Amino acid sequence: LENCERAIALADRFLNIPPIISPSDLSSAELDEPSCITYLSYFVKCNGPGYRATLERVRQMLPNIEVHDFEDCWKDGVILCALVEAVGGSIDGPMNMAVATNAQRITNIRRALNGASKLGVNSLVGAEDIADPRSDHLALNGASKLGVNSLVGAEDIADPRSDHLGIMALTSALCSLSSSSKKPIKSECLQNQQVNLDLAFSKGSEVDINELNVVVSGPTGIIYSESDIQLQKSRTINGAVLSIIPIEIGLHKVAQLIEV
């Protein structure tokens, strides 16, 4: 119950996720699936926090490619092939860069999905669905495979224009492969001594440090206010520097949320 209370409060405070479910209901063994799915869908709806975070991660993985969304720009398979290769996969056969027909789009996407499958990542949507230029049914199709078909189409939950859930789930799984062996960045300092943390942004990224929401938790899990730890944010050529002054002894965790 305590974990659910904390999670719902943090989601409301930092991600603007409305607390439409109570901590007691969320932690209950008798929680009904529709209520849980309705709450979780706010995280992955179009332009929601999960959508934006995943999109930013893809942009970091593919700094030389413009990725605008999880809809139209994926329909020719070029970005998907590039992402598979970026996380260590391989594409069988040449990729069609100048896509002119639907058959070429499907061929590209099938090659990307095959490459993803070899990495252990299987797609919730097929090549034909991703390549389909129509948009009125795609959200229902992809979302139904995620078990949220009754929710997609509601204005406050999901964007009905296109199928972003299936593609977003696939790209999120692929991006996770690149960080499976990475360890968190650690730094040490004395109590009441300033510590600086360097952040590097992808090339061409226009991140406003004022939109950089920083969450710092102490050894006991308490979330500090910015004034408690004297948080400072400074822009640098390659990214930004976060400065904090810990007021407790022990391991502190720092996380940043970027509005994109």
Does 5 have pLDDT greater than 90? yes
More confident: 156 or 234: 234
Q: What is the pLDDT of residues 22-34, one digit of tens each?
A: 999 999 999 888 8
Check: CB of residue 163 under 8 Å from CB of residue 146.
no
Token pair of 161 as six digits = 């224009």
Q: What is the pLDDT of residues 89-147, one digit of tens each?
A: 888 877 777 777 888 888 888 999 999 888 888 877 777 877 776 643 334 344 344 34
Share of the chain above pLDDT 90, in %: 15
Tell me, what's the pLDDT at 9?
94
* Strand partners for 242: 197, 233
CATH 1.10.418.10 range(s) for the chain read 32-177
Task: Say what the pTM is.
Answer: 0.58
- Tell me the C-alpha distance between 167 and 142, whole Å: 8
Tell me, what's the pLDDT at 172?
87
Residues 6+ apart with CB under 8 A from 126: 113
Share of the chain above pLDDT 70, in %: 79
* Strand partners for 243: 196, 232
More confident: 93 or 250: 250
Q: For the structural domain made of 32-177, what CATH number should be given? A: 1.10.418.10
Tell me, what's the pLDDT at 204?
56
